[in-house]
């Protein structure tokens, strides 16, 4: 299973011919794409057009959902603190998604450069 960040889901949902979009297609074909609750909120908040919303509805029925529970929130707080101590700034959403991946011991599919700095810290939590 691989947790997929909104950055890669957007590439896929918008039908872009990009590497992240192709990686998401592959994960879906294998049945190994997952997302967390925050990612779903981000996607619905930015969903464009009838087709994109329809695909998102269909995906909700098949993609595994990982909860943002108390353990994830605790890791997110620690990750935010450790990241700032190292001078790394990332959005709160990215911090929570990285914490969810770390908590679930899942790799994270993304195309957002913030994760390149945050994930190594998350892996040590």
CATH topology assigned to domain 2-122: Rossmann fold (3.40.50)
Chain center to CA of 71 = 17
Rama region for 73: left / alpha / beta (φ>0; ψ in -120 to 50; rest): alpha
Task: Scan for tokens 């981000």, then name that residue.
Answer: 42
DSSP code of residue 8: H
* pLDDT per residue as tens digits for the range 60-114: 999 999 999 999 999 999 999 999 999 999 999 999 999 999 999 999 999 999 8
CA dist 68 → 73, 75, 87 (Å) = 7, 10, 25
C-alpha 108/C-alpha 15 separation (Å) is 20
* pLDDT per residue as tens digits for the range 28-63: 999 999 999 999 999 999 999 999 999 999 999 999
C-alpha 16/C-alpha 86 separation (Å) is 34
Rama region for 45: left / alpha / beta (φ>0; ψ in -120 to 50; rest): alpha
Q: Contact 101/108 with Cβ under 8 angstroms?
A: yes
Domain boundaries, the chain: 2-122
pTM for the whole structure? 0.94
């Amino acid at each position: 299973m691989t947790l997929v960040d909104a950055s890669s889901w957007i590439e896929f949902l918008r039908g872009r011919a990009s590497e992240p979009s192709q990686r998401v297609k592959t994960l879906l074909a294998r049945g190994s794409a997952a997302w967390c609750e925050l990612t779903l909120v981000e996607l619905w908040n930015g969903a464009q057009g009838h087709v994109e919303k329809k695909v998102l509805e269909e995906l909700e029925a098949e993609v595994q959902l990982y909860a943002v529970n108390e353990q994830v929130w605790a890791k997110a707080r620690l990750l935010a603190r450790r990241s700032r101590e190292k001078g790394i700034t990332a959005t709160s959403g990215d911090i929570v998604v990285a914490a969810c991946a770390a908590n679930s011991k899942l790799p994270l599919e993304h195309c957002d450069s913030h994760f390149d700095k945050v994930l190594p810290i998350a892996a040590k939590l």
